[in-house]
Copies of this chain bind each other. A is one copy, B any other.
Amino acid sequence: MIYSTELIKGTLKTIVLKMLSDNKKMYGYEITQHVKEVTKDKILISEGALYPTLHALESEGLLKTETEYIGKRVRKYYTLSPTGKSKAKEKMNELTDFINTLTFLLDIKHA
């Protein structure tokens, strides 16, 4: 099952914040791979979507970065700021509530 792309829209920020919430410290590529693995290739985050989102969250003050060098290769680690932590909880509550509402509206049976 490949999800039509418009479905994933709107959930990316929440996914990113939740990943950082659970794992403390991650870099961009790691997030895409982690999501890909956990969802068994069902949710594939494109880089063209991820990086602008990370930059946006950073400029909103929700994320902080530290650059690390692995050999000569740059790696940018992201962590949640205090504001980011509360925003992550807020966004998760919202998404959870939304999913419950949708589930009820559409009479979806739980897996």
Chain A residues in the interface with B (C-beta under 8 A): 1, 3-4, 6-11, 14-15, 18, 22, 35, 38-39, 42-43, 92-111
Among A4, A10, A106, find the residue whose CB has the most chain B CB atoms closer than 10 A.
A106
A108 CA to B102 CA in the complex, in Å?
14
Main secondary structure of the interface of A (DSSP, over half): helix
When the two chains form their complex, are residues B100 and A111 in contact, meaning their CB atoms are under 8 A apart?
yes
Which chain B residues border A106 with CB–CB below 8 Å?
A: 14-15, 18, 92, 95-96
Which chain B residues border A14 with CB–CB below 8 Å?
A: 106
When the two chains form their complex, are residues A39 and B104 in contact, meaning their CB atoms are under 8 A apart?
yes
Which chain B residues border A22 with CB–CB below 8 Å?
A: 107
Which chain B residues border A103 with CB–CB below 8 Å?
A: 99, 111
When the two chains form their complex, are residues B94 and A4 in contact, meaning their CB atoms are under 8 A apart?
yes
New A-B contacts (13) at CB < 8 Å, excluding given A15-B105, A100-B110: A3-B97, A7-B11, A7-B94, A15-B106, A18-B105, A39-B104, A42-B97, A42-B98, A43-B101, A43-B102, A95-B108, A96-B109, A103-B111
